[in-house]
Amino acid sequence: MSRVVDPRTPVDPTNRMATELAAIKRRLDLLEAPTGTSVYQTVAKLTQLVSNIQAQLDAYNAARYTNAQIDARIASPGAIAPTTVTASGDVVVGGQLRAPDAVAFNITGARRTAWLEDATGRLGYSPSSERVKQDIAPAAIDVGAVLAIEPSSWRYREQVTEVGDAAAIEVGVMAEAVAAAGLEFAVLRNGDGEVEGVEYSQLVVALLAVVRELDRRINRVASGNVRL
């Protein structure tokens, strides 16, 4: 039963507003109360969402590397798919460093010889400017000893074992002969100090000394002939 309020009875405006707001809230609560259909639809959506998340997790777990596979990849990465790999720091290669396509690349611009440091295996460049040198003096090179070095041809034993008579014939000099000529600057030795190879770019220096000496002798003979 509704209460009848005497219009003449004074009413606090704040209380009246609070009463009206409370009534409006009750009506809104009734309007927003979920029906059975809306609850069912909400549950169905949540179920589908959970199913999708689970499917994504299953796909991720099926495609991801295990810890053992990751360790194996780190230990032996194998071929790298990208055509260009850039490293900002040092790159250390535990095995062999190969560039199969390098022999097909024609370098037409400025170029310089790369050197391999014995102690570290680092690749680098050795400058020849006076700016980085000291104690500069004429090199003592025995021209006669250099002329005694005999050019030779040979085949490498390992290659003969692999391909037999198809092994390539190489031409050069024996490292032992270069060492015997006193050209230690052109001799490569292993960790035990044994003679191992020849640095042919350095051998050119010895040949320059030979050419200079021969030129001096020719000029001396020519000068003698003029006097005659």
Give me the CATH number covering residue 167.
1.10.10.10
pLDDT tens, position by position, 180-202? 999 999 999 998 999 999 999 89
pLDDT of 221 over the 70 cut: yes
Task: Judge whether 198 lies within some domain.
Answer: yes
Task: Judge whether 44 lies within some domain.
Answer: no
Supply the mean pLDDT for the chain.
Answer: 83
Task: Judge whether 189 lies within some domain.
Answer: yes
Task: Judge whether 21 lies within some domain.
Answer: no
Task: Judge whether 153 lies within some domain.
Answer: yes
**Band (25; pLDDT cuts 50, 70, 90):** confident
* Domain that includes residue 196, residue range: 143-223
The confidence score (pLDDT) of residue 183 equals 93
SS3 154: strand
For residue 119, give Cα distances in angstroms to 59, 96, 116, 212: 49, 16, 9, 35
37-63 burial code (b ≥16 CB/10 A, e <16)? eeeeeeeeeeeeeeeeeeeeeeeeeee
Task: Judge whether 171 lies within some domain.
Answer: yes
pLDDT of 76 over the 90 cut: no
Q: How many domains does the chain have?
A: 1
SS3 107: coil
183-197 burial code (b ≥16 CB/10 A, e <16)? beebbeeeeeeebee
Task: Judge whether 196 lies within some domain.
Answer: yes
pLDDT tens, position by position, 100-144? 888 888 888 888 888 888 888 888 988 889 999 999 999 889 999
Task: Judge whether 169 lies within some domain.
Answer: yes
